[in-house]
Amino acid sequence: MRIILLGPPGAGKGTQAKRLTDKYGIPQLSTGDMLRAAVAAGSETGLRAKAVMDAGGLVSDAIVNQIVADRIREADCSKGFILDGYPRTVPQAVAFAENMKASGLRLDAVIELKVDEEALVGRMERRVAETVAAGGTVRADDNPESFRKRLAEYREKTAPLSAHYQKEGQLVVLDGMAEMDAVTDAIGQVLEKA
């Protein structure tokens, strides 16, 4: 099962991807997590990406395309994967399709979680509060200014992916404002048909 989850920051992609990981035994590939790990490790990629990420901008297509191309060839991806946060631009989607074709792989579903933008800032603030309460480290880009920039980047560069995948006949749009369990059920139904 090879799945792309689309949706703005705070739409619940990460939460749903984790649930799919448990259900199907396939890994969640979050480019955000991979980039944060590169930043934490102080690798060259991390050093190049950090300032852009902190400000809520997008890391270059070349960097993320390479990260994903390498990652999906790892052994734990042999039965599939859930992409969370990639692709995020139409050129990334094109590069990913070429990459999949070259590997003889097929995408099973592209699922977009649709949410009201108004609700997203509140969700981000709740995530920050929960992280602080749990004694965790708050993401450098979970602040109102970077979050606004992330939303603007989504609108400008990522939202066009809906039309792209619609044209390819691969897009399914679900209500991301529904209860978390209802969203999980809806995704499950889509995947049963895929």
Interface with ligand AMP (CB under 6 A): 9, 30-32, 35, 52-53, 56-59, 64, 85-86, 88, 92, 141, 150
- Dihedral of CA 99/100/101/102: which sign? positive
Q: Is 127 a catalytic residue?
A: no
Q: Is 139 a catalytic residue?
A: yes
In the bound state with ligand AMP, the residue whose beta carbon lies nearer, of 124 and 187, is 124
Nearest approach, Cβ of residue 192 and ligand AMP (Å): 27
Residues in the chain: 194
Contacts of residue 102, Cβ cutoff 8 Å, sequence gap at least 6: none
Nearest approach, Cβ of residue 188 and ligand AMP (Å): 23
Within 10 Å of residue 12's Cβ, how many Cβ atoms?
20
DSSP H/E element including 110: strand 109-114
In the bound state with ligand AMP, the residue whose beta carbon lies nearer, of 29 and 172, is 29
The residue of the chain with the least Cβ separation from ligand AMP equals: 32
CA-angle at 16, arms to 105 and 69, nearest 5°:
30
Distance, CA of 55 to CA of 149 (rounded, Å): 7
Q: Is 48 a catalytic residue?
A: no
Nearest approach, Cβ of residue 193 and ligand AMP (Å): 27
Active-site annotation holder among 114, 127, 139, 149: 139
Q: Is 123 a catalytic residue?
A: no
Q: Is 88 a catalytic residue?
A: yes
In the bound state with ligand AMP, the residue whose beta carbon lies nearer, of 42 and 104, is 42
Residue 193, helix vs strand vs coil? helix
Within 10 Å of residue 158's Cβ, how many Cβ atoms?
22
In the bound state with ligand AMP, the residue whose beta carbon lies nearer, of 50 and 186, is 50
Nearest approach, Cβ of residue 7 and ligand AMP (Å): 10
